């Protein structure tokens, strides 16, 4: 995981997330020797943090899905595309204060019924700042006894 405070890392993620330069995310393949592959142990599926349908239509892609697809090729763990759904539109997390980020994502995700057949998944996101997104997804999974771990391309420290 890279530091989001690094200007080059932040720039790469912003280009891939907001300017359709998602091909930059393939850099993950070049750095796969730095990935701790133990995070995939026992993992049955990769779950990309979902976007709200209208936001996805506007952007045209979900960068977390792209990251999950790349990780799937590296790890041979399949991507579960519709395991978690974002059912409410929220403000973008960028620029929100910590408490606002935590409140912004309360009760916006729902779990697909297919999830209950799984024991362990890996939640995939692009950037972790307050962990509010990952935590909300993990709570859903934990409620039905699914163990989860997470992978993020970068973190704010």
The string of pLDDT tens digits covering residues 120-149 is 999 998 877 778 888 999 999 999 999 999
Mean pLDDT confidence for 35-55: 91
Across the chain, mean pLDDT equals: 81
Which numeric CATH code is attached to 2-155?
A: 3.40.50
Domain regions of the chain by residue span: 2-155
CB atoms closer than 10 angstroms to residue 41: 9
Does residue 136 contact residue 101 with C-beta atoms inside 8 Å? no
pTM higher than 0.85 for the full model? no
User: How many CB atoms sit inside 10 A of residue 156's CB?
Assistant: 13
- Residue, of 61 and 104, whose pLDDT is higher: 61
Give the mean pLDDT of 48-62: 90
91: β partners: none
- Return the DSSP state at 130: S
């Amino acid at each position: 995981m890279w530091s989001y405070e690094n200007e080059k890392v932040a720039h790469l993620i912003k280009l891939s997330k907001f300017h359709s330069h998602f091909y930059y995310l393939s850099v993950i393949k070049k750095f796969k020797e730095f990935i701790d592959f133990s995070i995939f142990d026992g993992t049955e599926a990769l779950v990309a943090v979902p976007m709200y349908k209208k936001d996805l239509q506007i952007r045209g892609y979900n960068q977390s899905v792209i990251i999950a697809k790349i990780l799937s090729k590296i790890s041979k763990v399949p991507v579960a595309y519709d395991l978690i759904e974002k059912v409410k539109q929220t403000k973008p997390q960028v620029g929100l204060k910590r408490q606002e980020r935590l409140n912004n994502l309360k009760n916006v995700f729902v779990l697909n019924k297919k999830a209950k057949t799984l024991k362990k998944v890996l939640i995939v996101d692009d950037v972790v700042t307050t962990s509010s997104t990952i935590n909300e997804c993990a709570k859903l999974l934990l409620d039905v006894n699914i163990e989860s771990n997470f992978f993020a391309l970068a973190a704010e420290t």
